């Protein structure tokens, strides 16, 4: 349980950092970032694997580049659902999802001993 909370907080910090770097992503306060990070985690755990599986032939044809588009779509979906989290445009979502994963991966590497 502690690991889930730590990962959630790491993703919240990463989301706040991503929103401060990318102009097309806005987070209204820490509460909005907490909710958005939680919903993004749930969406990435349940909806993203189904989309990856359904688009597998196209993903193979594009050598995995379709995964970036799917990650951006997941971020856009969360922005539609969560108040206080806004993404302006598809490319902002794609670049934001890439930056979010890089920042959260780096913070996870620094914070945890793994």
Count of domains forming the chain: 1
66-81 vs 90-111: helix axis angle to the nearest 10? 90
- Pairing type for strands 25-27 and 85-87 reads antiparallel
pLDDT at residue 3, as a whole number: 86
Is 70 exceeded by the pLDDT of residue 114?
no
Per-residue pLDDT reduced to its tens digit, 5-22? 999 999 999 999 999 999
Core vs surface per residue 39-75: b (16+ CB within 10 A) or e: bbbebbeeebeebeeebeeebeeeeeebbebbbbbbb
Per-residue pLDDT reduced to its tens digit, 26-46? 999 999 999 999 999 999 999
Distance CA 6, CA 59 (A): 32
Query: What percent of the chain stands above pLDDT 90?
Result: 93
Helix (H, G, I), strand (E, B) or coil at 24: coil
Round the average pLDDT of the chain to a whole number and report it.
95
Which of residues 1 and 84 earns the better pLDDT score? 84
Q: Read off the pTM.
A: 0.91
Mean pLDDT of 70-98: 97
- Range of the structural domain that residue 35 is part of: 2-111
């Amino acid at each position: 349980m502690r690991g889930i909370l730590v990962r959630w907080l790491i993703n919240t910090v990463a989301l706040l950092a991503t929103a401060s770097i990318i102009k097309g992503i806005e987070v209204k306060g820490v509460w909005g970032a907490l909710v958005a990070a939680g919903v993004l985690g749930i969406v990435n755990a349940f909806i993203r694997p189904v989309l990856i599986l359904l688009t597998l032939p196209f993903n193979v044809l594009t050598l995995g580049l379709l995964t970036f588009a799917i990650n951006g779509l997941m971020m856009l979906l969360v922005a539609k659902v969560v108040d206080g989290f806004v993404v302006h445009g598809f490319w902002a979502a794609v670049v934001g999802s890439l930056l979010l994963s890089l920042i959260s991966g780096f913070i996870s590497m620094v914070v945890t001993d793994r």
